Structure 1
Amino acid sequence: MAFTAPTLQQNRPAQGLAMRLLAVFALATMMALVKMAADRGVNTLESVFYRQAIAILFLIPIILSQGGFATVKTQRLGTHMQRLLVGLTGMMFNFAAVSLLPLAEATSITFTVPIFATLLAILLLSESVGWHRWSAILAGFAGVLIIVQPGGGAIAWQGALVALIGALLTALVSIIIRSLGSTDKPVTVVFWFTLLSLPPLSIGMFYYGALHDAETFLIIAGIGLCGGVGQLALTSSLRLAPVSIVLSADYTSLIWATFFGWLIWQSWPSVWTWIGAPLIIGSGLYIAWREHNLARRPQYRHEAKEQAEAN
């Protein structure tokens, strides 16, 4: 699996940050709806299927308004297939996590995405990481341990494990999307992911699909709508600016998760979440700040250019 290092010429940080904030709100709303649907007996595969099926209906008018399906042609179908495999599996894990955990705790664990992204950058992009970022990585995982409290029963360890796997796969998806963003438009990336995911999900629906009442289907429709908006905005943010720039916006999702948890389920994050989440958030922000400073150094920019040309 080969990835292209992100180019340094695509950066429009203000627009990227605005798109990321929109994506965070839309996806936080989607996750609350996923949890509501799970409470009503909708299984994870159903939620993912409807999220993708409704999103494709949402995308078609956008594509037609931009010149038709010729505008979403791609020369990188293989990379889109990689994105499908990782992204669809990650979505299944992320959806399952919110059905197994309180919303705020599941959201806090997803903040390990930049930590995993740093580890993956070492493995896939051959980035060198010094003790500063290694310390941040260790601090972030310490925050996870505080929230999970292994052996203490603070939250279900199975749910925490599912959430961590989802975060790992989301980090890998971010790298793939950043690579695709160097050649394909955001709507192209979202279109191919959504379209390619429908055949395998449709097969799964033969085994796991079920009928639901009108109110439940309304919630399911909201999952698809919010997912389509969020995915398009997320992909746009990664095309407009590096992950290190837009990353800080992701942490606003804890505000929305806490709000939705209180509003819908009358639940409040545990004291361990309030202690562990700042460690994870601080770790991610420090990694972003460190990468941003390194990116401004001439030597780093020269090495990144050479790496991009080599790939």
Structure 2
Amino acid sequence: MPARDERIFAGLALRLFAVACLSTMSALIKLAETRGATLAETMFHRQLWAVPIVTAWIMIGPGLGSIRTQRFGAHVTRTAIGLTGMVFTFGAVLLLPLAEATTLNFTVPIFATLLGALVLREKTGWHRWGAVVVGFVGVLVVAQPGSGQFPLFGAFVGLMAALFVAIVAITLRQIGKTESAGTTVFWFSVLSLPPLGLVYSFQLQSHDWLTWANLVAIGLVGGVAQLALTASVRFAPVATVIPMDYSSLIWGTFYGWLIFGAWPTPWTWIGAPIIIASGLYIVWRERVLHLRQTESVTDAATS
């Protein structure tokens, strides 16, 4: 197997592993709530136990000297946005069945397209606008507004979670021009602990050892997932690994059935493929446009 193919295969494998970890973390978050843990507790432990994993990864790789930054303010902003998004992400997991929460998260490419056009003033053609419209039709199919079968507040929280994931992606794109992924992950984990710890201090409570183990596992599994996501794009292009994210629906459905006895509604099975198709088309279209721009620059340089 050629070296390039091996790297792409490694990237795909890491992405699939990361998705499995994130889905497992979501199941653990929902399970922790059934055992009495609050949202503040799960968020605090998610960040706390990820710190040693991220720190060890940096020590093994570029070294602790790499966490020095000249853009501390940018990391503070990223932390504020990330924590807000985490509230919505965890909230969606707690308010919705896992499969439905996962499905709404598939709208991230749709929101990324909207933000790119409206905020970054990126040129967006009718192909991607059409995919955005189709994606939101899929959301309506899943949510079935007015039917009373789907908690609309939960749907709102799930869509806000996807919106903030897209905002974080844009923020990271800006920070990534000068900061490494390890540096960004480290400062997000560390800077989020003081505000989360302050909120958590007002909600301290005792748990049995299984619940404590559950909370620790949320942080450890989440930290491993974060590193695997980062590593996946080092081995393979983003457009190549992103389709692997849709495997989370399999995990969400499996955990929902296995642990909570929940099965996706028929409308979810209809709407999810529509949302996934919309997201995949947006990713494919962006790849096509990127290749065209690269070819144009190459042609201009050689002419």
TM-score after normalising by structure 2: 0.90
Residue of structure 1 in register with 2:114 after alignment: 119
Residue of structure 1 in register with 2:170 after alignment: 175
Q: Supply the distance in 2 between the matched residues of 1:208 and 1:288 (Cα, whole angstroms).
A: 42
**Is 1:110 the counterpart of 2:105 in the alignment?**
yes
**Alignment equivalent of 2:184, drawn from 189, 195, 208:** 189
**Is 1:200 the counterpart of 2:198 in the alignment?**
no
Aligned residues: 292
Asked if 2 retains the 8 angstrom alpha-carbon contact of 1:30 and 1:223, the reply is yes
Residue of structure 1 in register with 2:3 after alignment: none
One-letter amino acid of the structure 1 residue matched with residue 162 of structure 2? A
Asked if 2 retains the 8 angstrom alpha-carbon contact of 1:245 and 1:292, the reply is no
**Alignment equivalent of 1:37, drawn from 10, 22, 32:** 32
Q: Supply the distance in 2 between the matched residues of 1:138 and 1:243 (Cα, whole angstroms).
A: 23
Deviation, 1:16, is 4.1
Asked if 2 retains the 8 angstrom alpha-carbon contact of 1:19 and 1:236, the reply is yes
One-letter amino acid of the structure 1 residue matched with residue 158 of structure 2? A
Could you list the runs of 5+ residues in structure 2 that have no partner in the other structure?
Answer: 1-6, 298-303
Residue of structure 2 in register with 1:133 after alignment: 128
**Alignment equivalent of 1:88, drawn from 68, 78, 83:** 83
One-letter amino acid of the structure 2 residue matched with residue 85 of structure 1? A
**Is 1:289 the counterpart of 2:284 in the alignment?**
yes
Correspondence list, 1:52-71, <5 A: 52-66=47-61, 68-71=63-66
Residue of structure 2 in register with 1:308 after alignment: none
Between 117-126 and 41-50, report the one with greater CA deviation: 117-126
Asked if 2 retains the 8 angstrom alpha-carbon contact of 1:103 and 1:257, the reply is yes
Deviation, 1:258, is 0.7
Deviation, 1:13, is 5.3
Q: Supply the distance in 2 between the matched residues of 1:237 and 1:186 (Cα, whole angstroms).
A: 12
Question: Which secondary structure state, in structure 1, belongs to the residue aligned with residue 211 of structure 2?
Answer: helix
Relative to structure 1, the CA distance from residue 57 to residue 135 in structure 2 (aligned partners, 3 Å threshold; closer, same or farther) is: same
Residue of structure 2 in register with 1:257 after alignment: 252
Asked if 2 retains the 8 angstrom alpha-carbon contact of 1:295 and 1:301, the reply is no
Q: Supply the distance in 2 between the matched residues of 1:180 and 1:245 (Cα, whole angstroms).
A: 22
Q: Deviations along 1:53-88, whole A, 9 cap, x unmatched?
A: 011122232233336421222232222222111111
Q: Deviations along 1:202-240, whole A, 9 cap, x unmatched?
A: 110111232211101111111001110111222334566
One-letter amino acid of the structure 2 residue matched with residue 135 of structure 1? G
Question: Which secondary structure state, in structure 2, belongs to the residue aligned with residue 209 of structure 1?
Answer: coil
Question: Which secondary structure state, in structure 2, belongs to the residue aligned with residue 152 of structure 1?
Answer: coil
**Alignment equivalent of 2:96, drawn from 98, 101, 107:** 101
**Alignment equivalent of 1:156, drawn from 143, 151, 157:** 151
Deviation, 1:23, is 1.7
Q: Deviations along 1:240-264, whole A, 9 cap, x unmatched?
A: 6554332201100001101111111
One-letter amino acid of the structure 1 residue matched with residue 140 of structure 2? L
Deviation, 1:147, is 0.8
TM-score after normalising by structure 1: 0.88
Question: Which secondary structure state, in structure 2, belongs to the residue aligned with residue 296 of structure 1?
Answer: helix
**Is 1:221 the counterpart of 2:185 in the alignment?**
no
Residue of structure 2 in register with 1:6 after alignment: none
Percent sequence identity is 52
